[in-house]
Structure 1
Amino acid sequence: MSHFSGSMVAIITPFGEDGRFDEESYRQLIEFQIENGTDVIVPCGTTGESATLGFEEHDRVIKTCIDQVRGRIPVVAGTGANNTAEAIHLSQNAKANGADGLLLVCPYYNKPSQEGIFLHYRKIAAEVALPQVLYNVPGRTGINIAAETTCRLAEIDNIVAIKEASGSITQASEIIANAGDKIDVISGDDFLTFPLMACGAVGVISVTANIAPAQVKQMVVAAQEGNYARARELHLKLLELHQLMFIEANPVPVKTSASLMGKCRADVRLPLSPLQPGSLEKLQTVLKKYALI
């Protein structure tokens, strides 16, 4: 059943000096991922600053990603929105552009009930014939997709996985225990990938993989192979780097790291703002420690 598994990256969207989408740097970032064994590319997630991309840009970023990947690995496009019609529109465009699957964030801000969440996802699944990955990130959306709701949604054929970033190993385990044969659980928090995989999750949609793809992949492979001693060692080794990626709002730290590594500019769009000097200093210290700069 596992449509999408392994080390998957929520890729950053680089901007040029003019503030526009920097296509050239983006293509190079994708090559860097593929060369380092990343299994799936996820464009236009939270880490890809989907919240501040215009409609046309959103489409262009996804299209560029698909064009650069050229079918070498799957592309799961972030097309979620808190307006169901809008999510369907973005999803249909991604399908037309050749996406392999969709990552659909739980509707944020308008706080639907569990029934509303169920109906939202059921409607998108009915309208867009692509494998769909639900995305539960209560810290950003203001609501949690209950395990019970996920298990209900698991009955829908093209809902294949959930990216769990609730921080609850209990909740993720509940989904695996009750509907693990119908839906995959994917870690949405780098620092929880190891424990979640030990419980049966199939991989991670990672922020850290933007800058350390080979290292994240190694840890995931060790867990996939059931080599938990090795996976634990790598998990603990990467912990400080994972935590650093959230020293300020994601993707500011990871994008700044990529820029220190010479991969793109650090620019983010308002209301995100550049990393504070204290955070930057800390970032440089830790990146040096990991031999990334």
Structure 2
Amino acid sequence: MFKGSIVALITPMDEKGNICKKSLKKIINYHIKNGTSAIVSVGTTGESSTLSQKEHIKVIMLTLEISDNKISVIAGTGSNATYECILLTKKLENSGISACLSVVPYYNKPTQKGLYKHFKLIAENTCLPQILYNVPTRTGCDLSEETIIKLSHVKNIIGIKDATGDLSRINKIKPFVKKNFLLISGDDSTALDFIQLGGQGVISVTANIAAYEMSKMCKLALCNKFVEARKINKRLINLHKYLFIESNPIPIKWAAKKLKLIKKNILRLPMTSLSKKNFSLIDKAISKARLNKNFY
């Protein structure tokens, strides 16, 4: 269902910290025109941790409204409380979203048994397809290969976004998961290698400002045209690196504002704007990437 470059979309805000619909419309249309496969709305990059549940749902519904069925929308619905995940997921049933992205519970560090029960119960309480999201650097908890394999056979769990950057995991998982279980990278720096090893795509931060390039690179890779794909990735490699020089989404929001994809570079506290010492690094990475600006 989901292949290629999927953007982990930023949530544009105005000077008062409210959702900026005008900027959201601009960046969504940018992705539609540049071939992005799908949008993840209100994931980590969309500042899910600092939006209220009402705002969370509002952004997802605005994204659906603006996209107008021209691009699939995946809703970030993760929480460290199982019942909260279920409540949010059920509120989005019949909304038009294509799937949910559910992050490994953060802070409370459950056991593998707890993780299995958490995701299984969510899947059993909804008809919406579920994509697991493993990002231990942010959650402090790792979803093991064994638990992923076990969860892959649960109805409604259709894939995983793996942001560990550990490419060895693909061969440990792929032979044992159910047929058509999606393996999606969550790490831009290793995404191309991930696809070459058998993955179907990437949920990308870089794609926020390099939609055309990430889309083309993934399409080439999925057609086994890795020489051409690596030429594009070489131009983007510094972006992949420096867009994480401070906590995501601090650098990507700064870059999106610089490229006039959003009107204001506003983040919710405790996230603050990019440090001035890092401006030049991202500037140089943008220049080296030679981004297509036809749709800015």
Aligned to 2:110: 112
What is the alpha-carbon distance in structure 1 between the residues aligned to residue 48 and residue 30 of structure 2? 21
1:191-227 per-residue CA deviation (whole Å, 9 max, x = no partner) reads: 1111111111000000000001000011101110011
- The residue aligned with 2:271 is 272
Distance in 2 separating the partners of 1:105 and 1:249 = 17
Give the SS at the match of 1:177.
Answer: coil
Return the alpha-carbon distance in structure 1 between the equivalents of residues 170 and 65 of structure 2: 34
> Whole-Å Cα distance in 1 between the matches of residues 171 and 213 of structure 2?
25
Return the match for 2:26 from 12, 25, 28.
28
Q: Aligned residue for 1:17?
A: 15
In structure 2, how many angstroms separate the alpha carbons of the residues matched to 1:173 and 1:248? 31
In structure 2, distance between residues paired with 1:207 and 1:180 = 28
Distance of 2:175 and 2:233 partners within structure 1: 24
Kindly indicate whether structure 1 or structure 2 has the higher relative contact order, using CA contacts under 8 Å at least 6 residues apart: 2
- 1:182 deviates by 4.8
Aligned-partner residue type, residue 289 of structure 1? K
* Equivalent residues of 1:147, 1:172 under 8 A apart: no
Partners of 1:266 and 1:180 lie apart in 2 by 42
In the alignment, what sits opposite 1:179? 177
- 1:86 maps to amino acid: E
Q: Match of 1:60?
A: 58
* 1:46 alignment partner AA: T
- Is the contact between residue 191 and residue 239 of structure 1 (CA under 8 Å) also seen in structure 2? yes
Does structure 2 conserve the Cα–Cα contact (< 8 Å) formed by 1:6 and 1:204? yes
Map 1:1-293; keep pairs closer than 5 Å. 3-179=1-177, 181-264=179-262, 265-292=264-291
Distance between the aligned counterparts of 1:27 and 1:105, measured in 2? 26
Once residues 178 and 223 of structure 2 are traced to their aligned partners in structure 1, the CA distance between those partners, rounded to angstroms, is 19
RMSD of aligned Cα (Å): 1.2
Contact 2:235 2:289 in 1 (8 A): no
- CA displacement 1:10-54 (0-9 Å, x = unmatched): 000011011111111101110000000001011000000000000
Which region of structure 1 is more displaced relative to structure 2, 39-48 or 165-174?
165-174
Gaps of 5+ in 2: none
Superposed displacement of residue 291, structure 1? 3.9
Residues in 2 aligned to 1:229 and 1:284: alpha-carbon distance in whole angstroms: 27
Distance 2:120 2:288 in 1: 46
Work out the CA distance in 2 between the residues paired with 1:116 and 1:238. 38
State the TM-score, normalizing by the size of structure 1.
Answer: 0.96
Q: Give the whole-Å Cα distance in 1 for the aligned partners of 2:286 and 2:196.
A: 28
TM-score of the aligned structures, taking structure 2 as reference length: 0.95
Separation of aligned partners in 2, 1:221 and 1:285: 26
User: What is the deviation of 1:180?
Assistant: 5.7
Partners of 2:78 and 2:103 within 8 A in 1? yes
* 2:136 and 2:142 in contact (8 A); partners too: yes
CA distance in 2 between partners of 1:290 and 1:6 (Å): 19
AA in 2 matched with 1:52: T
Aligned-residue identity in percent: 39
What secondary structure does 1:8 align onto?
A: strand
Cα pair distance change 1:180/1:172, threshold 3 Å: farther
In 2, Cα distance between equivalents of 1:285 and 1:221: 26
Supply the distance in 1 between the matched residues of 2:67 and 2:93 (Cα, whole angstroms). Answer: 15
Unaligned runs of 5+ in 1: none
Letter in 1 for 2:184: I
SS in 2 for 1:151: helix
Deviations 1:255-275 (A, max 9, x none): 100000112211111111111
**How many pairs does the alignment contain?**
291
Q: Matched residue of 1:248: which SS?
A: coil
Q: 1:254 & 1:93 partners in 2: Cα distance?
A: 29
Q: Displaced runs of 4+ in structure 1, greater than 6 A?
A: none
CA displacement, residues 131-173 of structure 1 (integer Å, 9 cap, x when unaligned): 1100000000001100110100011121001000111111132
Q: What is the Cα deviation at residue 90 of structure 1?
A: 1.2
